[in-house]
Structure 1
């Protein structure tokens, strides 16, 4: 199964890179179609500052035009994605001896989204950096000193420097449930910094954002708007969940005290509000245990705010 996942995402990424490269001659015709971002933090969830404690993901979408539907050719839509994430033990000063190690993660990637026989497809690759080389742990230490908090000593035993090329592919399909609801089951595979196979689905109640280009946040699985379609005002409710079989993780090394939990699940709910000149998304996601010694799951909040002047 592990080799199948790696072959799947490798083939998908090669296709995406090849097709994107063939269109480089037309790069001057591309425009920025939109920006998307998602801020995640357990301060917006269970407020306990632990494990998947914080992250930020941003997407810049480049293409020729957006008419509310994905193109059928891979490479026409390009997503330049960057993200930063802090993963920490339960206590930043005196963690339990069986807790996971601190990890600082920074990534940069190129993805493409397209329509394949009525299915939404996203394929691409990211270069994921771990360790002190990211500068994230030093930044966190500086913030703690600035606000008078105790310096996080777990940084000294963080996961070391590493670079992990990571390949990712997702296939989903939308099904209308009447006029005001839509469900989208999906399958996702990833190989690299974490290698897994995931299945799940998302339910949107309301018509807001139906013709937007959406991108999935890697931590919570919440989908955020990257390109705006019809600017309708109103509210949509988003519910979703997924389960993954995790085969390998550089964030939980095999020689560490904390041992990887093979099955990982997420349950999420959120609300998207669109006004005349502003939009807000707020959601909460339950993340199940990621390592065997983890005593319980956690709640992580996600926030997306857009203002137009």
Structure 2
């Protein structure tokens, strides 16, 4: 398999992260917590088959100077502290078929900067991604199955070993208004670390869309979620999106004696709906993921859920 995207990923993410994290401290500006966003994703809310990219939870805390509805021009001014956990599993939790992917418990913590780059919206950062038994994810997964009398998670006995992987990532996008109730946002993304890939895609939002908000992207599903609230009229809004990635490497699929090789390309297609009142909002989205490893018989469908309340 070609590894050529590594150089591109490295160049894009290192330049962006250096600009974001090596910029000096804010002068005469006090940081404050501007917002908290989260996204829960699980295939029980999708195709219901408890396999592969089976579950994840991502939470973001945004800190910076006062938010006025637009990104700062200076990298490092507006920071996102991101915590993420994920369960990756074979298609059977007791006796998986030969050639299936191995179990992986994942926990990561990262620091990301959001800033304007001309007319574009940029984000870049560094995550420390821990995987293996050291995360305790497999133990919690097995315990939860015991509480609901679900099958035992025996595949943790063959879990991918302990690793700590620094991971650089960056995204560049631009929003185009299509009237007052629709918006198209194409984007490009690069990642270098636990998975090395480049990705391009777009999201189309329409309905009672939220203006002046800050959004982050869920790592697994690709759905965007609000991290700093904006303004919108009460009602419903919808999103349709998709992206394509070229994958150079993955620590979850290293092609060893017990691991299948990753597919060179991945596709994601997603749709979602948000209902929002003056004080609260509820979002549900579905995402179709194409096959991620050689020998995977089919794609899968994930469901994503977000609830938020403004005080």
TM bin, normalised by shorter chain, reads over 0.9
Q: Is the 8 A contact 1:127 1:163 kept in 2?
A: yes
**Residue 208 of structure 1: CA displacement?**
2.1
Give distance in 1, aligned partners of 2:144 and 2:291. Answer: 28
Give per-residue Cα distances to partners, 1:199-226, cap 9 Å, x unaligned.
0000001242122100000000000000
**Residue 12 of structure 1: CA displacement?**
1.4
Q: Secondary structure at the match of 1:145?
A: helix
Give distance in 2, aligned partners of 1:306 and 1:88. Answer: 29
Give distance in 2, aligned partners of 1:216 and 1:82. Answer: 13
4+ residue segments displaced more than 6 Å:
none
- Match of residue 279 from structure 2: 277
Q: Is the 8 A contact 2:197 2:248 kept in 1?
A: yes
RMSD, aligned CA: 1.3
Aligned length: 306
Give per-residue Cα distances to partners, 1:241-266, cap 9 Å, x unaligned.
00000000001112144111010010
Matched, 1:186 2:190: no
**Residue 292 of structure 1: CA displacement?**
1.2
Q: Is the 8 A contact 2:272 2:283 kept in 1?
A: yes
Give per-residue Cα distances to partners, 1:272-297, cap 9 Å, x unaligned.
11112210111000000000110000
For the structure 1 residues 305 and 266, does the alpha-carbon distance in structure 2 shift closer, same or farther, using more than 3 Å as the test? same
**Residue 26 of structure 1: CA displacement?**
5.3
- Match of residue 75 from structure 1: 76
Matched, 1:263 2:256: no
**Residue 24 of structure 1: CA displacement?**
5.7
Matched, 1:85 2:89: no
TM-score of the two chains, using structure 1 as the length reference? 0.96
Within a 5 Å distance, the mapping from 1:134-213 to structure 2 comes to 134-213=135-214
- Match of residue 307 from structure 2: 305
- Match of residue 9 from structure 1: 13
For the structure 1 residues 207 and 70, does the alpha-carbon distance in structure 2 shift closer, same or farther, using more than 3 Å as the test? farther
TM-score of the two chains, using structure 2 as the length reference? 0.95
Give distance in 2, aligned partners of 1:172 and 1:262. Answer: 24
**Residue 150 of structure 1: CA displacement?**
2.5
Q: Secondary structure at the match of 1:139?
A: helix
For the structure 1 residues 225 and 188, does the alpha-carbon distance in structure 2 shift closer, same or farther, using more than 3 Å as the test? same
